[in-house]
Amino acid sequence: MKHLFLTALSAAVLFVSGQAISAEKSAREIVEQAELNAYYSGDDGRSAARMIITDNQGREQMRQFTILRKDQEDGGVQDMMIFFSRPADVRDTVFRVVKRVNDDDDRWLYLPDLDLVKRISAGDKRTSFVGSHFFYEDVSGRDTALDSYEVLSEDDAKYVLKGTPKDSDKVEFSYYEVVIDKEHMLPVESTFYNDSGEAYRKMEVLEIETVQGYPTVTHSRISDLENGGKTDMQFRFMQYDIGLPDSIFSERSLRNPPAEWLQLRD
């Protein structure tokens, strides 16, 4: 009888464990599909972008730049460069990132006034990107392998998931909740919580357009819920599959931008 009881108990444990594994896989599949749609549309892409930074007293600053991006593999290694054009104090500043999976991304910032290429360490990836409320990590996207996920709720329009960092010592948040729109399979809202369970940071997608068949975010916002202030990011002149050469994504382009690929008006 004891043997039968243990066998039944083991079967029950395996059944419950199987359910948990299945649920986690389902949540991860949702997140990974959303990441592909958000960061890997087309084989490459180009866009003009503008950031409006608003502090907690309502004062505004602007940053204008062009983004070039090329995927080495779908959902894998990705090259990106951001070339700043306005205002004068950030003109010719260039940000370069090599996005990796299951490894730290490589990031560099070229500061023209100093003629200096500054490497952004992994420990600084969740710090302010050129004085905005966006973090360096927000620009290229957080590696989905760094977090575990569970589905909190689902309806006809959206999934709501909870993301928990696997190594909490390396981030400032305890967990986050992300809303993924089913129509476009894009993350449209992410709210970050501290150790006290208080929401302190929020990302929102305000506009989505279809560009060359790809659902594309054209207006997003990061809000500081703790101290006030926000940064809006607006995109224009988006193009995909334009045939960007690999040679663009190099240290040389930090000091010598590829002018022929930056001919966008904004």
Write the pLDDT tens digit of every residue in 83-130. Answer: 999 999 999 999 999 999 888 999 999 999 999 999 999 889 999 999
Within a domain: residue 178? yes
What is the pLDDT, as a whole number, of residue 101?
A: 86
Within a domain: residue 16? no
What is the pLDDT, as a whole number, of residue 264?
A: 65
What is the pLDDT, as a whole number, of residue 22?
A: 46
Within a domain: residue 15? no
The answer to whether residues 186 and 208 touch, using CB atoms and an 8 Å cutoff, is: yes
> How far, in Å, CA of 235 to CA of 140, rounded?
15
Within a domain: residue 235? yes
What is the pLDDT, as a whole number, of residue 107?
A: 96
Within a domain: residue 19? no
What is the pLDDT, as a whole number, of residue 265?
A: 55
Mean pLDDT split into 10-residue runs, the chain, 266 residues: 43 42 70 95 97 98 98 95 96 97 92 96 93 95 94 96 96 98 97 98 98 98 98 97 97 96 72
- 44 DSSP β-pair partners: 70
**Domain count of the fold of the chain:** 1
The answer to whether residues 119 and 98 touch, using CB atoms and an 8 Å cutoff, is: no
**Consecutive H or E run containing 15:** helix 2-39
What number of H helices and E strands is found in the chain?
A: 3, 13
What is the pLDDT, as a whole number, of residue 182?
A: 96
Query: Domain holding 63: CATH number?
Result: 2.50.20.10
Measure CA 15 to chain center.
35
What is the pLDDT, as a whole number, of residue 92?
A: 97
Within a domain: residue 76? yes
What is the pLDDT, as a whole number, of residue 51?
A: 98
Within a domain: residue 169? yes
Note down the domain range covering 87.
26-259
Residue 138's φ and ψ, nearest 5 degrees, are -65, -30
Within a domain: residue 216? yes
The answer to whether residues 138 and 221 touch, using CB atoms and an 8 Å cutoff, is: no
